[in-house]
Amino acid sequence: KVLLVGAGPGDPGLLTLRGYEALRQADVVLYDALVHSVVVNYADRAEKVFVGKLPHAKHCKAPDQDEINRKLVEYARQGKRVVRLKGGDPFVFGRGGEEAEYLRNHDIAFEIISGVSAGFAVPAFAGIPVTDRRFTSAVVFVTAHENPEKQSISVDWKKLAQLQATLVCFMGVKSLPEVARQLVQGGKPSSTPVCVIEWGTLARQRVVEGTLQNIALRAQSEKIESPALTVIGEVVSLRKTLDWFGRKPLIGKRILITRATADAGPFRSMLEAEGAVVCEAPMIKIEPARNPDPLDREIKERISRFGWILFTSVHAVEHFFSRLKSLGLDSRALGKSKIAAVGDKTTEALRAYGLEPDLVPRAFHSRELLRELQEKYFVRGQKFLWPRADIAPLDLKTELEQAGAEVTDIILYHTIADPEGQRRVAEILNAGPLDYAVFTSGSGVKNFFKGVSAKEIQQIKDKVVSIGPQTSQALREFKVSILAEAKQHNLDGLLQTLQDLSVGISTVSGKVSEPLRRGAVQPQRSAVKEDLKKKPEAAAPKSPLASRVQEAKARIQSHAPRTAAPKVQRFAPRPRRAK
């Protein structure tokens, strides 16, 4: 059986639930170029076959439609569950009808799983409703790139010019000058608003506005390329008030994250939800201990003798309970042992196994754990089990033993360098300048600065953001200048710090930085730019971005930098409700 699945317009969050379920059950996935890699990877157990055409790839021959059709039949006849994954909706300029007909002619069962079409989703992400009863109650989806094998062009642009309808043009960047010319010749006013949206629904979305008279030149000057969608009609004027995506605090910011691939997903999603372009270059890989026997022996023979079990990372939790399960045990095996967890994510991981930690230190590092253990509990004579990473500093064990405790530490997993991530750094930097480079662990710092070139290190100078003191210390060992360190040492605090930086707060002077005043780089912010030009003092209070600047200033000014690290600006978390 073959399932023709619409992947949506780009943002992985716009994939339908049925589409997701189809991917999870697939044996083979044939996917197009514009399908997001996150969506493709939902089919984690499937064979993945790329059948798309890469934009501007002149030397890479893409499979033609006949070849794709044959592959669908071939895989289906092998008894495999086949997903044909297409951008947008398979039946909207997606050749889904051709493929379904070919399958029917070859007696292959198929199913259509509709997707969110770019025709209305992309304009929505630019703040444009394709219909609005004040302007028009009709919308026309049209392609400006027809089948080259057809004898004649079927789209009569001059007739379309007579309609009181919004025109949404797919695949029309190259033909934009001709489309505009024919619409004007057909009677459409040259002053009709037009908007071209490149990479719609994604963080790299760019928007160029104009009229039928000047849109072709504006799109050319901004170097707009495929994939792009053009909206023509009076509804485009609503973008001035309805733009929401372009107002996100991290919109268009290129942010390098160095977390392990297995850990990067949640943070990547947090950043993308705020509009960031996330560049992943994992510096570490996590692998289970090569010899699990020591832990297995402690679990089977002596687990009940430990008064405390210390979990200092999410990985420790996951690998510990994986070993527990492999031995046919569950959390009941821990008996009356108390549990300590460092960090909110570690706490969440324990709760997933039905366990509530007895101690979670206020600050998310081992020194604070040690301090609170000694302050709140009787440590002398206690037996501690500490399943840890191979590279974990042994200060915790040493100081507990000095306080009279007995500590059994067992290497549960290994943290190793990821050479693929180190190679990716060059690709990321060649693609364009970064706004921020984010580090979340000392091991990630060491592998980065030992594995990349001096030229690449120079390119992230003054752009480094740290999650907390231990990571900052590792950065200082490599004489790296730190732009900012999160006050709250977790992913939420790190996100808040990046948001504060992005709205224009300088970590040195506290002044509004120049990126907000750039014109053509981010057309989404054109309204803010014009306000600043016309009335600098009066415009600021009305702008959402200006309000964020004022809030961020207040947060920063209320927290002086630590004397031990005068170069690092620490940001305060948002206030929490009192418990």
Of 291, 286, 293, the C-alpha closest to 318 is 286
Q: How far is CA 565 from CA 334, 473, 485, 570, in A?
A: 41, 9, 10, 10
Antiparallel, parallel or unpaired: β 82-86 and 2-6? parallel
Q: The tokens of 338 are what? A: 């108390």
Given a contact cutoff of 8 angstroms between Cβ atoms, the answer to whether 223 and 198 are in contact is no
Listed residue (343, 268, 353) closest to 313, CA to CA? 343
By the 8 A CB rule, do 505 and 553 touch? Answer: yes
Beta-bridged to residue 47, according to DSSP, are 28
Separation between Cα atoms, residue 454 and residue 393, nearest integer Å? 28
How does DSSP classify residue 428?
H
Q: Which of 32, 89, 243, 500 is catalytic?
A: 32
Q: Which of 407, 348, 362 is nearest to 380 (CA)?
A: 407
Amino acid at 85: L
Q: Which one is catalytic: 27, 48, 53, 80?
A: 53
Q: What is the largest CA-CA distance in the chain?
A: 91
284-288 and 406-417 beta bridge pairing? antiparallel
Backbone angles phi, psi at 446, to 5 degrees: -60, -45
Judge if the upstream peptide bond of residue 148 is cis by omega within 30 degrees of 0: no
The one-character DSSP state at 387 is E
Cα separation, 228 vs 218, whole angstroms: 14
- Bridge partners (DSSP) of residue 31 are 50, 85
d(CA 373, CA 86): 55
CA distance to 80, 241, 252, 530, per residue, from 124 (Å): 37, 12, 17, 23
The answer to whether the CB of 420 falls within 8 A of the CB of 390 is no
Q: Which amino acid is at 202?
A: L
Is 300 known to be catalytic? no
Q: With the C-alpha atoms ordered 257, 263, 269, 270, is the resulting torsion angle positive or negative?
A: negative
Question: Distance (Å, rounded) from C-alpha 23 to C-alpha 42?
Answer: 6
Name the DSSP letter for residue 305.
G
Beta bridge partner(s), residue 308: 338, 384
Collect all residues with Cβ–Cβ distance below 8 Å to 444 and sequence separation of at least 6. Answer: 258, 259, 283, 284, 471
**Helix, strand, coil share of the chain (percent; to 5):** 40, 20, 40
Q: In what order do the strands lie in the sheet with 338-341?
A: 284-288, 406-417, 383-389, 308-311, 338-341
Assigned token pair, 458: 């120079």
Among 158, 171, 296, 383, the active-site one is 171
Per-residue tokens: 43: 């089919």
Residue type, 132: D
Whether residue 171 lies in the annotated active site:
yes
First to last CA, the chain: 55
The verdict on whether 32 is a catalytic residue reads yes
The residues annotated as belonging to the active site are 32, 53, 171
